[in-house]
Structure 1
């Protein structure tokens, strides 16, 4: 890969067996955002942490977001003027869904508008317990993301047994190949 990536995990961070951690380890120069708390997410803190991570990049990066990190991208995009090349949103949760964490309630009030012209690929599983009705993926599509629904894969995280997730890596590589600049 010849581009900078910023890893944007969801609540709890992405542990060593999560595909985001595998991709980060395989990509020299990858930047992981670092909020004050992964388990008690504060919206302002997370926006600032993502903004700082993007600022650290030598060139406009591609963001790789998972779960709550996808909603963070929308909030950050509405608040920041920093430039990014694109964003991969994986397992966009439904903030109105039954499993959405109460600790992340501030993230549930999503900003209006689109993603500001940023190319976005949103990938979802057909049996994600955090988006059981497909509302998270639909929301991303309504804002300009290219939605891609995979078959049953769970929440597309470490518990789903994806490890390095070669399928996702191939989709990401194809997405980045289509980006300008």
Structure 2
């Protein structure tokens, strides 16, 4: 798959993990990716999730690309605030707004989200009708993080429930992000 072999991929699922039909599980197989092994998917604790991501990244030998979904996007933002040099690029799909009024209290340790630009190439993929993050908030996150943003029309939470199983078109977004990240690294080295 083109330049995919140049990277180690980390799958960072969201709250309650990604099931067997979820696109992240499909991509895990296609990309030979490592999935973060959090201790508790039902009652997430930020420290545990940061430790899980750090452990997964520590097992990588190539530049690390994190593919995050939902609460996993918040995890990446917090991780970048603590370990800015460990990630090469991140695809942030359907970020969960943990600061929204009706956010489940069990997600409280992830709020507030860091207000800083991510120190690596990143892309937010958001839906125009995501029940867990409205378009205005997704736009705010992408601007704050310095991420490019792509909107999918009426794609729900971009998960199995919204029909995103293999989601091969998402792999094209990943490929595009990696091309941008590669050019950015070349410009930094020049």
Classify the TM-score, shorter chain.
Answer: over 0.9
Deviation at 1:76, TM superposition (A): 0.7
8 A Cα contact 2:128 2:135, kept in partner? no
Tell me the equivalent position of 1:72: 75
Q: TM-score, normalised by structure 2?
A: 0.88
Which of 148, 152, 155 is 1:153 aligned to? 155
Tell me the equivalent position of 1:60: 63
Which of 14, 18, 21 is 1:14 aligned to? 18
Between 1:164-173 and 1:134-143, the stretch displaced more is 134-143
Tell me the equivalent position of 1:92: 95
Secondary structure of 2:126 counterpart: strand
Q: List structure 1 runs of 4+ shifted beyond 6 angstroms.
A: none
8 A Cα contact 2:121 2:177, kept in partner? no
Q: Distance in 2 between matches of 1:133 and 1:170?
A: 22
Which of 100, 110, 113 is 2:113 aligned to? 110
Q: Distance in 2 between matches of 1:132 and 1:98?
A: 12
8 A Cα contact 2:97 2:132, kept in partner? yes
Deviation at 1:99, TM superposition (A): 4.5
The structure that is helix-richer by fraction is: 2
> Structure 1, unaligned stretches of length 5 or more?
none
Deviation at 1:81, TM superposition (A): 4.6
RMSD: 1.5
8 A Cα contact 2:115 2:144, kept in partner? no
8 A Cα contact 1:54 1:82, kept in partner? no
Tell me the equivalent position of 2:188: none
Deviation at 1:92, TM superposition (A): 1.0
Q: Distance in 2 between matches of 1:65 and 1:43?
A: 15
8 A Cα contact 1:99 1:129, kept in partner? no
Tell me the equivalent position of 1:124: 126
> Structure 2, unaligned stretches of length 5 or more?
186-190
Deviation at 1:43, TM superposition (A): 0.6
Q: TM-score, normalised by structure 1?
A: 0.93
